[in-house]
Amino acid sequence: MKLPVFLIPVFVSFCLTCAGQDTGPQGRPDMDFGTVTPSTFAPVVYSIDSTANAVILFDHGEVNFEPSYANGHEFSYILERHTRIRLLNKNAFSLANFTLSTLRKSNMNPPYIENFKGATYNLEDGKLVVTKVDKSNIFKDQNGEFNQEKVVFPNVKEGSVIEYSIRIVYPGAFIPPWTFQGGYPVLWSEYDVTVPTLYDYVVKHQGYQKYVVDSTVFSTAEFPVSFNGFIGTWSGQTIRRIWALQNVPALERPEPYTTTLANHLSLISFQLSAIRMNGYNKTYRSNWNELVEELAKMDKFGSPLADRNRWVDDELKNITAGLPASQGSLAKIYAYVRDHFDCSNRESIYMTRPLKKVWEEKRGNVADINLLLIVLCCHAGFEASPVILSTRTHGLAVDDYPLLNDYNYVICRVTADGNTYLLDASKPYLGFGQLPEICYNGWARVIDNTLDKVPLFSDSVTEKRTTLLMLANTDSGYAGTYMRRAGIFESMDLRQRMKRETPDQFFQSLEKTMADYKQMGSYGFDSLASPDQPVSWHYTMKYNFTRKTIYFNPILHERFNNNPFNAVTRHYPVEMPFCFDNTYVLNMEVPKGYSVDQLPKSASVKLEDSTGLFTYDIQSDGKTIQFRTRLQIRKAFYGLDEYQGLRDFFSFIVGKEKEPIVFKKID
């Protein structure tokens, strides 16, 4: 998207009437290039993390604007990034070679790298030895749409300090985001951004760390601007914002049941919300009304939907075979798109090619395919609108402050026979009305006049699994059947898995886990090829009991062998991917020639707020045993204060599920 800013490169004046201090806060290191001294090497270990393989001594980003930059005649932001790292041992040597990638060509002017400076410092015999990064250490490469510069720092050994400074130009009014936190601890991370108040930005902060520097300095500037034919001179205030974090711990390793660390790390991001000056005012996406209008006009989103698209009517006839608009014909249209189109991996809310091309080539990205589905639905007489959302690995979108960059996925909302459905035709394993797990990540927005919000949270959906095991004494010995009906998401996983392996391989690996006195008979999957149905799998088995004592665990294939919340302390909240409800039923006869010596006791446990429930019911009349266990988790998000309760809850479950039924041979 190109911003309508064209500059006449003439005269720029800056007037510095500062209001604000510039005294360095305590702990702020000297961040000039080359200011490494022997004392930098003094620490053998850093108190922030004694096990770290490397420590980022500082990471400094400075953003300044240039009303007309170089020969681009374009307003640009310039980021100067300067980083200094202490490599403590060889495990961190990968930090000493990295790749800088920039987009090669596109409709927008992409950012480009202007300058790279680097050096390795070593302390040898008390003296500082500097080895500069020169041309022989930089390799230029091209990969797909990217230009790459690969840098290899020379003379690196354990204890070395490396530093680099890099200058990146961002044509336009885009301010790059800043991540304070990463895989290594950072002693000082600072972002210093100066913007003219010509541009208004919404600033998003994320993370649990508190800034040690959060300052604002005002100044003034004046320069010529040009927007869409409007030409003038802007003069006004500039704002300089500095944020810094000190002693930022490395991102903890992902803990079980965290959606994505990207949602938890400390970062700042910016999105343009308005251009303001006398005579010219333009707001960008300050509220959903405007955003929906904007999207509706875009040629990569809304405007293809408004086109006549007459060719669609002919194609539709073949798909719906003349059925009137109903849930049945809608299901046919959906199934057609899902089964005949190939979706590329690139997630975006924008189309990559004209609708007709998508149809002819039978391929596209998520937006191409689902927007095509909407066009088909509309032409078939249904009310259909796009719905945008942010997927789990993309981070959280903040619904109150619409930032288009936060959204990366499009699905369809369609009404048929009075019912509303959410459809995603981009994945071959999705059934009608089903959405992939990654879509359940917060509020989704319908892009039409209703401006509706759709709740797609992790606890908006409950995954239900049912398992049944039956065992009896038969003429051919002690035998039975196992059957599991998977929930929606487990079915999706199984369908994807069965594209990579065969059912034979699946059951063969299952058989490998079985005890030597158990034998698998016939086996199979049901509904693998019918995405609208849940997947079931089943097998028959025979047991050959000979020992005096048999320890028989009534729960097959789904015990919690370990407490997923084993760690004593937890750093991130617990995020279940969905709510779940697992039921397991066993009806068995006592094996012939044996009697029940020990039967586990029935029990139940629940979380303090009853959002978690575990029941274990078992009884026996000596000849048969009935057993039923059910685990329900009705909430998907548990805060840090609820962790201990969750830990105890699962600890109980793990212990209980370990208990076997003990049979003893009758003499």
Partner 1 sequence: MNFLKPGLFLTAVTLWLWTSGQGPVAEGIADSLRKDAGMVKRSDIMEIDIESPRKARIHRKYVYTILNSTGDRYADIGTFYDKFNDLADVTAILYDANGKVIKKIRKNDMEDWSMAGSGILMTDSRIRFYHFSWRSYPYSVSFEEEKQLNGLFNLPDWRPQPSPDIAVESSSLVIRVPAGYPLRYKQYHYPGQPEMAEQKGGTTYTWEMHDRPASNPEPFAPAWFRMETSVRLAPGEFEEAGYKGRLYSWADLGKFIGGLYRGRDELPAEARANVHQLTDGLKDDKEKIAVLYRYLQQNTHYVGIELGIGGWQPFDATYVYHKRYGDCKALANYMVALLKEAGIRAWNVLIQAGQAAPAIDTGFACNQFNHAIAVAIAGSDSIWLECTSQLLPPGYLGSFTADRDALLLNDDGGRIVHTPVYGWKENRFDRTVRGTISDNGSLQASMQTGYRGLEQDALQAEIDRLPGSELTRQR
- Nearer Cβ to partner 1, position 211 or 336? 336
Q: Taking CA 576 as the corner, what is the angle to CA 575 and CA 578, rounded to the nearest 5 degrees?
A: 135
Strands 477-485 and 462-474: antiparallel
CB of 253 to partner 1, least distance (A): 7
Separation of alpha carbons 653 and 211, rounded Å: 41
Q: Which amino acid is at 499?
A: K
- Nearer Cβ to partner 1, position 152 or 454? 152
Q: Does 341 bind partner 1 (CB under 8 A)?
A: yes
CB of 90 to partner 1, least distance (A): 5
Sign of the CA dihedral with 509 first, then 515, 521, and 524 last = negative
**Number of C-beta neighbours around residue 246 at 10 A:** 22
Q: Quick one: tokens of 215? A: 């300052």
Q: Half-sphere exposure (CA, 13 Å, Cβ side) for 266?
A: 24
Q: Does 88 bind partner 1 (CB under 8 A)?
A: no
For the window 525-564, what string marks contact with partner 1 as x by the rule CB under 8 A?
A: ----------------------------------------
Phi, psi of 307 (to 5 degrees): -65, 165
Q: Does 139 bind partner 1 (CB under 8 A)?
A: yes
Q: Which amino acid is at 399?
A: D
Q: Does 155 bind partner 1 (CB under 8 A)?
A: yes
Residues 610, 616, 621, 622: what is their CA dihedral angle, to the nearest 10 degrees? -160
Q: Does 143 bind partner 1 (CB under 8 A)?
A: yes
Task: Give how many residues touch partner 1 by CB under 8 A.
Answer: 31
Q: Quick one: tokens of 97? A: 């070679």
Q: Taking CA 25 as the corner, what is the angle to CA 23 and CA 27, rounded to the nearest 5 degrees?
A: 140
Q: Does 499 bind partner 1 (CB under 8 A)?
A: yes
Q: Does 157 bind partner 1 (CB under 8 A)?
A: yes
Q: Does 182 bind partner 1 (CB under 8 A)?
A: no
CB of 572 to partner 1, least distance (A): 15
Q: Does 383 bind partner 1 (CB under 8 A)?
A: no
Considering only 154, 183, 207, 433, the residue that binds partner 1 (CB under 8 A) is 154
CB of 252 to partner 1, least distance (A): 11
Q: Quick one: tokens of 98? A: 């990295």
CB of 51 to partner 1, least distance (A): 4
- The 3-class secondary structure across 294-322, one letter per residue, is HHHHCCCCCHHHHCCCCHHHHHHHHHHCC
Considering only 35, 97, 216, 553, the residue that binds partner 1 (CB under 8 A) is 97
Q: Half-sphere exposure (CA, 13 Å, Cβ side) for 224?
A: 14
Sheet with 453-456: list strands edge to edge: 419-423, 409-416, 383-389, 442-446, 453-456
Q: Which of residues 256-315 bind partner 1 (CB under 8 A)?
A: none
Q: Quick one: tokens of 226? A: 């040009």
Q: Which stretch binds partner 1 (CB under 8 A): 141-149, 319-327, 569-577, 631-639?
A: 141-149
Q: Does 152 bind partner 1 (CB under 8 A)?
A: yes
Please report which helix (H) or strand (E) contains residue 57, including its range: strand 54-69
- Nearer Cβ to partner 1, position 252 or 452? 252
For the window 15-54, what string marks contact with partner 1 as x by the rule CB under 8 A?
A: ------------------------------------x---
Q: Which residues of this chain interact with partner 1, rule CB under 8 A?
A: 51, 90-91, 93, 97, 137, 139, 141-144, 148, 150, 152, 154-158, 253, 339-342, 344, 360-363, 499, 567
